[in-house]
Chains A and B, each alone.
Chain A
Amino acid sequence: MAKTLTRADLSEAVYRAVGLSRNESADLVESILQHISNAVVAGETVKISSFGTFSVREKGARMGRNPKTGEEVPIEPRRVLVFRPSHILKDKINGA
């Protein structure tokens, strides 16, 4: 049965890897996520070798449709985050 991991599991992994307190391990996980978030918010690409790349894509304005009412609604131009997994990660997931 597939499980869902959370920040707590990542903190536990940090705790096991280095001899820090659980609190400090949790803070470091949070710092990592904050640094990645801040970079993408600034429009930067974040490249984690052997894991993958987070990049920002600009989407233009377009007309959308409310699928329930069929009504046309404008969709504003926006920025979306795209994660492109590395080959190493893809191979690992496919048991290579």
Chain B
Amino acid sequence: MIKSELIQKLADENPHLFQRDVERIVAAVFDEIADALSRGDRVELRGFGAFSVKQRDARVGRNPRTGESVDVPEKRAPFFKTGKDLRDRMNG
């Protein structure tokens, strides 16, 4: 499923909404999560999962093609942990 298909499903279920409002709603949800993560906040959605940010230390990496050493600076990486209900449903 891609974002446009998600928007279509929501639009079908909510015939009183304009398509462009459904698009805005979906954008608002994912933008809110992205904004929270960029501030270093967590987003916890019980039953679904939790988004958080992990700190990755600087390290010396290697170009796998040339074997050359490269300095990789420290960075932050988004992380998702699946919620218990969803994990159980996937293996139900």
Where the two chains meet, the residues of A that have a C-beta atom closer than 8 Å to any C-beta of B are 2-7, 9-10, 13-14, 16-18, 25, 28-29, 31-33, 35-37, 39-41, 44-52, 54, 56, 78-81, 83, 85, 89-90, 92-95
Contacts and interface: CB of A to CB of B under 8 A. Distances in A.
A15 B38 CA distance: 21
B71 to A, nearest CB: 16
Given A32-B6, A37-B48, A47-B3, A4 B82 contact: no
Nearest to A18: B21
9 contacts: A5-B41, A35-B6, A35-B10, A47-B1, A49-B2, A56-B90, A79-B90, A92-B37, A94-B76
Contact of B34 (A35, A40, A92, A94): A92
Contacts, number: 144
B40 interface: yes
Contacts of B77: 85, 90, 93
A81 B78 contact: no
Interface in B20-66: 21, 24-34, 36-49, 51, 53
Given A6-B45, A89-B34, A37 B89 contact: yes
Contact-size category for B: 35 or more
B45 A7 contact: yes
